[in-house]
Every structure is written in structure tokens, then in C-alpha cells.
Structure 1
Amino acid sequence: MSKKNAYIRKGSISSENIAFYKQNGYLIAADLLSGNEITELKKETAAIFRGERGYVDGMLAVDGVESDDDILKKYVAIHFPHKISSVIYNYLSHPKIVHVLTNIISPNVKCMQSMLFVKGPGKAGQAWHQDEFYIPTRDRSLIGVWIAIDDASIENGCLWIIPGRPGYLMRRVNNHSDEYADVDSIDVSKYGSAGPVPVEVAKGSVVFFDGYTLHSSKRNKTTGCFRTALVNHYMSAESMLPWDQDGKLPATEDLRDIVMVAGEDPYAWKGVVDANKPYLRPEVLKIKTKL
């Protein structure tokens, strides 16, 4: 299947795009968000990490003369920023994003997580992984939506993807590469050097990828460029969500800390809860691993 079908043109998803996603596990929508929207997200990112949207455990005191860049260099990411930012919350249901989601997941879509990455100069990336390993769905409908707030290049640590979804969750092994902050990874050597594809995109572009799709990001090797990205996770509303937030919450058959973004919620009778709290991502990440 032609790689040109990986690209959504002018925000309008085609049958060829849908077929490509089902086979390869990802799609790219260039310039899906406007310049004004990206400016808004950029400003909101600085406000969040300045503590202007509420204190998050571990945030450092802000010197009044520090620039936004100086502040952002102290952090890697914040999980669940939509819990404290109405701007981030509103972007969960961005109409152009929801249009794609309802065509490749279900007419009924819910969001369960947001993550705001501010990978500054020198910061390590994420090792090879599959999101479904961390966020289990019952119908394999998990999808990540990766919004580029800065231009993402190989030099500043763009997303990398291996096309073609494995039909299972692959074994985690020790990570020995200083490209990544994680203690574990997936051995992707069987795919060869031509397997991984760098996803270099301009700010405003959005990458959609399946929960079983292998992906990673390398270290930001620049001296003055950030690679800021808002990453939200969605799934079909028909599926329950047996997610304990990496052991932070009690085990459950259906975590109801969700935001409906399209259609109807067949489990609305259960109500919703506010279980997850925003937290800062540590420099070295060790999640769900015994390695």
C-alpha cells in the first residue's frame, strides 16, 4: 500500500487513509491545527509549568525573571494536564481530531489520558513501546493522538514508528541505549535498520497511532530547540477500561475517569469519577516493569 495514503489531506480522511491505518497502524495529518491554535497551546504550556494553573507535586519555585524556556528545561512532561487546564481540556475534543477518530475507531469515542511533553535540549526520549501495554482496552481500540506544538525533527527527537501492527504485546527487555530515559524497551532488531520510520512533522501536524503500534522517540540533540507535544489517548466508548493507572489506582474492570468526545456512552449509567491527578513525569521512567 502506498505510503502517500498515510497522509490525511486538508483534514478530510479518505477510505484509503482508513485502509492504511488498519494495515500500518498510523496516520499523519499535516497542519491540522492552525497557527493561532498552536500559539495558544504554546502559551498554555508555559503557564502550566509556571504553576499558573495550579500547583503539581514536584514543581519548582519560579523566579520572576526566568524565561519560559528556562522553566521548561527543568521538566520532561506532565500527565493529565487537562485536569487543571481548560485549554488542554478543550483540545481533547477538537473537531478535526474527533472527525478522524470517529472514522477509524467508532462513532462513540472517549478520552482517558492527556500528556504534555516539553522535551528540551539534551533530554532523552522514550524507548520502543506499545501503548496498549500500559493502557489496556478490551477491544484493541486504543489510539494515541500526537499533536506537534513545535516542529519535530530527527535532531530534536521526533516520533519514530514501525509500520504494521504486531498482533500481540511484545516482550519488554532491558534498555541499554542512552537515547532513552526508560529502563526497559522492546527489541526491534528483527525489523532491521529500514524498519523504523522517523515522523518529522511541522508544528500543527497531528499523528494518529494504534495502541499496538511500535513507536519511540530519541534524545533531543539540539542545543536550543524544544520538541513540545500534546499527546492524548482515546478508545471506543463501547469498550470498558480495566486500567489501574500503572498501579496508582485500585484495580478495576472499568475506570470511569473519562471524557466523552463523540457519540454516546453505553456505560453512562455508571457515572464518571475524578480519580487521576496531574503529575510530573520523572527523568528516568520505570513503569510496569520488574527488570
Structure 2
Amino acid sequence: MTVAPIAPPSTLESRYEQDGFVILKDVLSRAELDALLAETARICRGELGAIEGAVASSPDESDDEVIRRFLCVHYPHKLSSLMLDTMRHPAIVDGLTRVIGPNVKAMQSMLFVKAEGKPGQAWHQDEMFIPTRDRSLTAAWIALDDATVENGCLWVLPGSHRGGVIYPNREHEDPRYDCTVESYDFPWTDDDAVPVELSAGSVLLFNGYLLHKSLPNTGKHGYRRALANHYMSAESLLPWAPPHEGQTMAQADFRDVVLVAGRDPYAYKGIEQLRTPRIRPDRDGGCDR
């Protein structure tokens, strides 16, 4: 089994261009991790605001009982100033400006909990869900726990981003994965995949066209918690929602964004609050098709 390499700083840009991903090792300190883990419990308890689809917790429940009900919370940065600050973490932003450019905006955050037995996600490309005009979409996947093969780390197909092709997708009934569609009909097999095992506090940067997946947490106890943020060049429009009335599709520009580096040439459009925190459904009870 080949394990994903860690790129030294001098080769970060070239490795990202070649493979579609790089590892930034030990970016977050133990104190930063502990704060984010404590914040995760507060978010899951609903202490920081409502989460669509979440079941209310009881004061009698332990943090562990509450947290393990969740697979993923979308948009935690809208609930937590700490999650928002982490989206702007200087060491992460430094890596982003090296692979994207000097002007960078974020549009999404996802807080994964993934307790033992929780499913992974089938092969997919992030740009299939979040379209940019210039192919600049980049994820920063921050390990809050050690991410291992056993507990469901990411797997990637190195170089699968280079063609700039969005592969077709379909519904699936594979119990290893959550209800998100899977990509298929691409020229790689699972034998080409490599696991990306990360120590807690390390960050995986990867391209929006890179095919990646994760498997279930098969560990006997514990979580695979991670914070995944999505970024892109501020110069690019973001056609993530239908255009406003009277606009063409080419003018569509989703403005629920956070500038993390440089300047926003579209700042004159203002910022809109379009998305609200919600949970991602797993396969418990089936998938609502």
C-alpha cells in the first residue's frame, strides 16, 4: 500500500500541480486542537445556534453521547467565531495563496465527526458540487484527530485533477458510504488510490477536481473528527446558485463568502447570508431520493 507523501515547503506548489494535493504537517497546536474539539461539542449540543436536521440534546447526555449522533455539520463557521478564525488560520492561508494566488475567498465549511461505524463518502470531486469559473477550488481538510486507514481517512487518486474533467455521477446503494452521489466512468481504479493518513493538527490541501473518497470508521472506539473548508480565487465568480432575475448564467455569483487573503474585486456586490447550518444525513434510516 502506497501512502501519500508529505511535501517539503520548497516543492509545495509543484507537488500540488502534479498530484493535486499536499500535506501541511502539524499546522495546529495541541491547544488549538483542544479548543476546536471543545467547540465541536458545543456546536453539536446546539449551544451556538440552530442546526437544521439536528436532534435536540438533553442536559443529562454526555458530550460523547451527543457528538456521536452527528456525521457532519455544514457551515460551522456561521455558528462559531473559533471555526471562522480557523478558516483564516495564517499557516493554512499561506499554503492557499501559494496554490491559488494572492486573493482567496472561502464559501463553505464542514465539521466531520464520524464516530465508529459511521459511513464514508464515495468517489467524488468537490468541483462537481461547488463550481468555479477558473478551476481554483481548493479544500483544506484539517485533522482534529489522527486520521488513519482504520478510522476512515481520505483516499485520493493522484493526478486525477489534471485533465480538468468533471466525471459523471450516480446514486448508489453501497452501505460503506453516505447518501452523496458517487462519481464513475473515470480511467482509474481503486488500485491506483492512496490513503492520506494525517496526524492531528495536520492539513491536507487538495484540488477541487481531485477524485477522493473515504471509507467507514471501522475503529473499535473513537472519532475521526475533521474540519474541511473550501476556498477559491477571489477573482473568480462562483456560480453556485441560479442567477438573479435578469442575469445570465455567466453572471451568477454566489456572495455568501469570506475573504481570507488579499482583496475581493467584487466587494462592491456586498455579502449575502444565503446558507444556514445543517447536518449531512448518513444512511441511518436510508436515503431520501
Q: TM-score, normalised by structure 2?
A: 0.90
Is 1:233 aligned to 2:225, yes or no? no
In structure 2, how many angstroms separate the alpha carbons of the residues matched to 1:189 and 1:139?
22
In structure 1, how many angstroms separate the alpha carbons of the residues matched to 2:26 and 2:128?
30
CA RMSD in angstroms, aligned pairs only: 2.2
CA displacement, residues 114-138 of structure 1 (integer Å, 9 cap, x when unaligned):
0001101100011100000000000
Counterpart AA for 1:185: E
Q: Give the CA deviation at 1:179.
A: 1.3
- Which residue of the partner structure matches residue 209 of structure 2? 212
In structure 1, how many angstroms separate the alpha carbons of the residues matched to 2:6 and 2:13?
10
Distance 1:136 1:194, change over 3 A: same
C-alpha contact (below 8 Å) 2:138/2:205 kept by paired residues: yes
In structure 1, how many angstroms separate the alpha carbons of the residues matched to 2:13 and 2:268?
32
C-alpha contact (below 8 Å) 2:255/2:272 kept by paired residues: yes
Counterpart AA for 1:99: D
Is 1:72 aligned to 2:71, yes or no? no
Counterpart AA for 1:39: D
C-alpha contact (below 8 Å) 2:121/2:180 kept by paired residues: no
C-alpha contact (below 8 Å) 1:122/1:220 kept by paired residues: yes
Q: Give the CA deviation at 1:224.
A: 1.1
Q: Give the CA deviation at 1:171.
A: 1.2
C-alpha contact (below 8 Å) 2:167/2:186 kept by paired residues: no
Unaligned runs of 5+ in 2: none
Given candidates 149, 152, 162, the residue that maps to 1:157 is 152
How many residue pairs match? The answer is 276
- Which residue of the partner structure matches residue 148 of structure 1? 143
Pick which of 254-263 and 66-75 moved more. Answer: 66-75
- Which residue of the partner structure matches residue 267 of structure 1? 266
Distance 1:212 1:56, change over 3 A: same
In structure 1, how many angstroms separate the alpha carbons of the residues matched to 2:52 and 2:125?
28
Q: Give the CA deviation at 1:54.
A: 1.2
Distance 1:188 1:220, change over 3 A: farther
CA displacement, residues 206-238 of structure 1 (integer Å, 9 cap, x when unaligned):
000000000000011123120000000000000
Given candidates 37, 47, 53, the residue that maps to 2:32 is 37
Distance 1:84 1:221, change over 3 A: same
In structure 2, how many angstroms separate the alpha carbons of the residues matched to 1:7 and 1:133?
26
CA displacement, residues 149-178 of structure 1 (integer Å, 9 cap, x when unaligned):
011111111011100014200111342432
Distance 1:183 1:35, change over 3 A: closer
In structure 2, how many angstroms separate the alpha carbons of the residues matched to 1:254 and 1:168?
22
Distance 1:188 1:67, change over 3 A: farther
Post-superposition, which runs of at least 4 consecutive aligned residues in structure 1 deviate over 6 A? none
Percent identical among aligned pairs is 46
Residues 1-291 of structure 1: matches in 2 within 5 Å?
A: 6-9=5-8, 13-14=9-10, 16-164=11-159, 165=161, 166-182=163-179, 184-187=181-184, 190-244=187-241, 253-284=252-283
Unaligned runs of 5+ in 1: 286-290
Q: TM-score, normalised by structure 1?
A: 0.89
Pick which of 89-98 and 64-73 moved more. Answer: 64-73
Distance 1:119 1:174, change over 3 A: same
In structure 2, how many angstroms separate the alpha carbons of the residues matched to 1:189 and 1:255?
29
